[in-house]
Structure 1
């Protein structure tokens, strides 16, 4: 072979190999690989979860979600299917179908499962509260009903649901006359905040192996966080080993919270001896601010990765932009997630993957 023909041969080989090298580079790059998932990118940091709808909002059990979207996560939470008004709408009449399907899917795919929720002022089962009677009769009916409900639900899913939001949103947004949400049917039936302690006692007895959480929003606010910690002390939840952690709901916006607020919140709860999870993550965002959303998610997950030694999990309150409670709540169409209305990855997704490095 002459030198000239040899040179042409090498050029031809290089032309064939260059696209292959580019393909290999893209596949191996965590920021661009389509084989990368959120769970995979953060496997050394914390589980990445999503709340899923099943049996509500015209969603059948999981038929709404493409497999490739569910595969992005390694943790699931039922958005509504495990709430009292859904799972036991009438006394003794349980609707297990959709909750069971979520549990089965999580087991089949080796996913962590969080239970949500046993006690909340919304989506309560009205039968748990008597229509008339004395304060003591109201309290007894409510606590007896809660005990039966907690025993039934937690025993059914024992060793399958590994952690529970036992109590949700009982602390007031501002102190006012009381640090607690006094308009809650639970507060009214009990005649005070003591129902929170009893709820944790019931949950601990129903499944001693489950991790028990208090879940609330705005706990990056120092005032509300103090009211939460004061409640734990008042009720002896930490002293008596009745609570394991807090779920910090993350219904946040494009400019709040900042890094220091997040750091301080996590620090305060960890110093109190509590596990911390970021729950219900979504960011209020319209169609026109998607570039800002990408910046926001990159910054947020950079901070969360830096805090990964102190965070046990991060859960989005949904999966894709086709379904979010924020639209109804705020009165305009929201696009708060990493996947668009068609389930395609957005720029925000790529930036979250990059933040894992």
Structure 2
């Protein structure tokens, strides 16, 4: 390679680097309005893909772990904890001066069966389950006391119709398991914010049930700072009106709002929820954009993102954080949910870790937005 060519290539790399550094980020554009975060995995924290690691550090003001703090990964057996990934995750956020969220303390999914049964495989008593909850929460929250901004204390305790999910927690302890979880978390770190987190919060019956839960927790003297709306969305649902109606209800209930797992699937779907147990058979009709997305469809997706982002800005007095569930289309969970093997495009960076054009539009919107 000629020296002139080497110099030209080096100059191009430096110019690209300088342009990237000069770009505004959503974290910068939303400063003073709300935190802008992303869910991360251990490979990104550990620098296995340095490009992704750098993007997460530069583009976002908050992080949440995809899996490493859920009950099963962090506490697979009684009296045995796996701290390695969680420790590295928290240290990564501290190094990059990002707000760190713990996700999640109590969830009916991704939790060891041992949590609910005795040595003979029978359901434990309410007293035993309550003590196991206390031990788990106090140990996990206590380890990171003062280092975690807030915790998703309970995840997905309601069905879409507003009834309590018939989980093992509910079967053994009734709805009081939620109250106990919040009490134990507050005892373990009195300064940490505490959240309830769920999907399809835009569904009126579920939102009403969550509002009632907030009232009950407050009446019992529990701390609850915000409700997390996962915001796993589709091209046509939820409507902007339904999302805003849920915001109004939560605001009136006296809690703040977190958008905790935001993505918008561009694909047709047989299912509007986020229950990870859902699974449907693959078909080409449900995977129409393997080669490319038609421009008309891409423009509709862009508008959908901007409409929802505008709603978040409109309620920035109570929306404290907006978190995208995954950095890029390459690693999104929606490539496999609710139909395995599909090719989805639901987040803000493409499969080559490049910003999508809609990000610049969001940045402009955030910078210009005034109530």
Bin of the TM-score, shorter chain as denominator length: 0.7 to 0.9
CA offset digits 1:107-154 (Å, max 9, x no partner): 11110011100111100122211245887x432222111111111110
Residues 69, 109 of structure 1: alpha-carbon distance in 2 compared, 3 angstrom cutoff: closer
2:260 is equivalent to residue 279 of structure 1: yes
CA–CA distance in 2 between the matches of 1:195 and 1:33?
47
Residues 259, 119 of structure 1: alpha-carbon distance in 2 compared, 3 angstrom cutoff: same
Contact kept in structure 2, 1:295 and 1:351, CA below 8 Å:
no
Deviation at 1:239, TM superposition (A): 4.9
Structure 1 counterpart SS, 2:300: helix
In the TM superposition, 1:190-229 aligns within 5 A as 190=173, 192-229=174-211
Cα RMSD over matched residues? 2.2
CA offset digits 1:184-205 (Å, max 9, x no partner): 1211232x21111111111111
Structure 2 counterpart SS, 1:50: strand
CA offset digits 1:180-228 (Å, max 9, x no partner): 101x1211232x2111111111111111111110000111121111111
CA–CA distance in 2 between the matches of 1:322 and 1:238?
45
CA–CA distance in 1 between the matches of 2:328 and 2:188?
34
Contact kept in structure 2, 1:69 and 1:343, CA below 8 Å:
no
Contact kept in structure 1, 2:264 and 2:346, CA below 8 Å:
yes
Contact kept in structure 1, 2:38 and 2:56, CA below 8 Å:
no
Deviation at 1:63, TM superposition (A): 2.4
Give the one of 300, 307, 314 matched to 1:292. 300
Deviation at 1:240, TM superposition (A): 1.3
Q: Report the equivalent of 2:100.
A: 113
CA offset digits 1:317-345 (Å, max 9, x no partner): 11111111112113222110110011011
Q: Report the equivalent of 2:285.
A: none
Contact kept in structure 2, 1:291 and 1:347, CA below 8 Å:
no
Give the one of 71, 76, 85 matched to 2:63. 76
Structure 1 counterpart SS, 2:63: strand
CA offset digits 1:226-258 (Å, max 9, x no partner): 11122334x444551332210011001122233
CA–CA distance in 1 between the matches of 2:55 and 2:207?
37
In the TM superposition, 1:1-357 aligns within 5 A as 35-54=23-42, 61-64=46-49, 65-131=52-118, 132=120, 137-175=124-162, 179-182=163-166, 184-190=167-173, 192-233=174-215, 235-286=216-267, 287=289, 288=293, 289-331=297-339, 332-356=342-366, 357=368
Gapped runs of 5+ residues in structure 2?
A: 1-14, 268-288
CA–CA distance in 1 between the matches of 2:242 and 2:132?
39
Which of structures 1 and 2 has the bigger CA Rg?
1
Deviates more, 1:341-350 or 1:163-172: 341-350
TM-score, length of structure 2 as denominator length? 0.80
Residues 304, 60 of structure 1: alpha-carbon distance in 2 compared, 3 angstrom cutoff: closer
CA–CA distance in 2 between the matches of 1:193 and 1:97?
33
Contact kept in structure 2, 1:327 and 1:334, CA below 8 Å:
yes
CA–CA distance in 1 between the matches of 2:22 and 2:231?
27
Deviation at 1:354, TM superposition (A): 2.3
Gapped runs of 5+ residues in structure 1?
A: 1-22
TM-score, length of structure 1 as denominator length? 0.84
CA–CA distance in 1 between the matches of 2:97 and 2:45?
22
